[in-house]
Structure 1
Amino acid sequence: MKEKIRLCCIADDFTGASDIASFFSEDGLRTLVTNGIPNNFVEIEDADIVVIALKTRTLNVDEAVSESRKALEWALDKGCEKFYFKYCSTFDSTSKGNIGPVADMMMEKLGIRYTVVCPSLPVNGRTVRHGILYVNGTPLSESHMKNHPLTPMTNSDIRVLLGEQSKYPIILLDENAFQSGSDFKDLLREMDGKWEHFYIVPDYYFEEHGMRIVDYFEDLVLYTGGSGLATHLGKKMVAKSGIQQNRNQKYELSGPTLLIAGSCSTATLGQIERYISEGLPYIKIEPEMLVSGQQTIDTLWSIISECNNGPILVFSSDTPDNILKAQENVGVEISELIEGVVSELAKKAVDNGIGKVVVAGGETSGAVTRRLGYNVFSIGKSVAPGVPVMIPLDNKSMKLILKSGNFGSPEFFLKAINLMEES
Structure 2
Amino acid sequence: MSGHRDHPIWGCIADDFTGGTDIAAALVAAGFRTTLMVGVPERPLPRARDADAVVVALKSRTAPRQQAVAASLAALRHLTALGCERFWFKYCSTFDSTSEGNIGPVTEALLDELGERSTVLCPAYPDNGRTVYQGHLFVADSLLSESSMRHHPLTPMTDPDLRRVLAAQSTQPVGLLPHPVLRAPEGAARAHLDRLTAQGIRLIIADTTGNEDLPVVERATRHLRLITGGSGLARFLPPPPRAAAARSPADRIEIAPGPAAVLAGSVSATTLGQTAHARRYLPHRKLPPAHLRADPAGTIAEALAWARDHLDPSVPVLLHSAEERADVERAQQSLGATEAAALVERALADCARGLLDAGVRRLIVAGGETSGAVVSALGLRSLRIGPAAAPGVPWTSATYAGQTVNLALKSGNFGAPDFFTTAQETLK
TM over 0.5: yes
Structure 2 residue matching 1:277: 3-state secondary structure: coil
Measured in 2, the distance between the counterparts of 1:21 and 1:9 equals 9
Aligned counterpart, 1:266: 269
Q: 1:37 Cα deviation (Å)?
A: 1.0
Distance 2:346 2:192 in 1: 52
Q: Cα deviations across residues 79-131 of structure 1 (Å, max 9, x unaligned)?
A: 22200000111111111211001101111111112111100000000001111
| Equivalent residue in structure 2 for 1:284, among 283, 286, 305 | 286
Structure 2 counterpart of 1:315, from 317, 320, 338? 320
Q: Secondary structure at the match of 1:9?
A: strand
Whole-Å Cα distance in 2 between the matches of residues 404 and 220 of structure 1? 28
Match for residue 255 of structure 1? 258
Matched, 1:410 2:417: yes
The reply to whether residue 346 of structure 1 matches residue 352 of structure 2 is: yes
**Which of 226, 232, 244 matches 1:228?**
232
Residues 27, 246 of structure 1: 8 Å contact kept:
no
Structure 1 residue 188: Cα displacement: 4.3
Deviation digits for residues 290-342 of structure 1, max 9, x if unmatched?
45549522221111111232321011124343233245557993322222222
What is the SS of the residue equivalent to 1:417?
Answer: helix
Report the equivalent of 2:239: 237
Distance in 1 of aligned mates of 2:73 and 2:295: 44
| 1:349-402 alpha-carbon deviations (Å, 9 max, x no partner) | 112221111111111111111110101000111110000111115656200111
Name the structure 2 match of 1:121. 125
Percent identical: 39
Give the secondary-structure state (helix, strand or coil) at the position aligned to 1:323: helix
Q: 1:64 to 1:293 in 2, by over 3 A?
A: closer
Question: Does the 8 Å contact 1:133/1:156 carry over to 2?
Answer: yes
Change (3 A) 1:399 1:130: same
SS in 1 for 2:163: helix
Report the Cα distance in structure 1 between the residues aligned to 2:335 and 2:100, rounded to whole angstroms.
31
Q: 2:136 aligns with which of 132, 136, 158?
A: 132
Does the CA contact (< 8 Å) of 2:175 and 2:196 recur in 1? no
CA, structure 1 residues 164+348, in 2 after alignment: closer, same or farther (shift >3 Å)?
same
CA distance in 1, matches of 2:245, 2:98: 40
Separation in 1, partners of 2:311, 2:15: 36
2:276 and 2:323 in contact (8 A); partners too: no
- After superposition, residues 5-404 of structure 1 pair within 5 angstroms as 5-41=8-44, 42-178=46-182, 179-181=184-186, 186-195=191-200, 197-233=201-237, 236-238=238-240, 242=244, 244=246, 246-278=249-281, 280-293=282-295, 296-309=299-312, 310-328=315-333, 333-392=339-398, 397-404=404-411
Q: Are the structure 2 counterparts of residues 61 and 286 from structure 1 closer, same or farther at C-alpha, using a change threshold of 3 Å?
A: closer
User: Which blocks of at least 5 consecutive residues in structure 1 are unaligned?
Assistant: none
Letter in 1 for 2:421: L
TM-score by length of 1: 0.92
RMSD: 2.3
Normalised to the residue count of structure 2, the TM-score between the two structures is 0.91
Q: Tell me, in whole angstroms, the C-alpha distance in 2 between the residues paired with 1:61 and 1:290.
A: 29
**Paired positions, count:** 417
Query: What CA deviation, in whole Å up to 9, does each residue of 1:6-43 have, x standing for no partner?
Result: 10000000000001101111222110111001234213
Distance 1:379 1:199 in 2: 30
Separation in 2, partners of 1:337, 1:255: 28
Query: Does the C-alpha gap of structure 1 residues 243 and 149 become closer, same or farther in structure 2, counting only changes over 3 Å?
Result: farther
How far apart are the structure 2 equivalents of 1:348 and 1:135? 37
Give the distance between the partners of 2:335 and 2:212, measured in 1 at CA: 50
Q: Distance in 2 between matches of 1:363 and 1:337?
A: 11
Tell me if structure 2 keeps the 8 A contact 1:7–1:80. yes
Gaps of 5+ in 2: none
